[in-house]
Structure 1
């Protein structure tokens, strides 16, 4: 028995919310996948932690400290590498949901949520590693880091103006 749903429409706000969410998640996913696949715009380390290392908070660290954090993330968070296959699976589920004649909003939403969860896991691991790392630094080292972080922020703000 088939139910005729041709007259049933999703509310406009739901379409807008899903579109905005999709756009944001695709940007995040594209950046993460690009970094994981190609090592970022300037090459460098590969692996599930590379996307985290490209954030301003970690790029402001000296290169030696970045290496230490990358090694720590690789050693302590092996599951982050497994996240790549989950990201591919979520992306495949999105494609299936988008191509169905009758849009599968529930399947699409589940794929978006999986991407959000995986990105959150990655950021949580990076934040924890950075907090532990900075807790071991001297006042002078923390102040030097603060100076580099501030300079990085000013450079980025200057590009936008």
Structure 2
């Protein structure tokens, strides 16, 4: 899934951390005003059935929700993210012409460090990082394709609940 342009701002987000669906981050201002558009879904699934879904509004072409549906494998890590830009991406949606749901089955590992959870496709190199909200950053390759996500800025209670959810599934 490729980014075609940006708005130069962070988008406001609402985060929900839950025992059954570990993380849901919503971006209501990215939805179309009158809810006329349909939704596109881009899914990342790995060999352990860990599952992340990005929901895109067809009218605004922006991300309206990111859901970390299941976490079935995880490792502790320490990824250093240097520079990043703060922008709200507008996506190319022509890949959804044939089907409103695209599932990318590929290798990735879910990693965790203090109050941060992320994944990156195994064979991809991070070219840039776009922080789109307080809780979500996108990892992009050199072709401006989304190759991973970073979830951060959890409160102590959210982090504790997230770790309980992870313990129950891994």
Q: Which is greater in Rg?
A: 1
Q: TM-score normalized by structure 1?
A: 0.24
| Higher fraction of strand | 2
- Higher RCO (Cα < 8 Å, 6 or more apart): 2
Higher helix share: 1
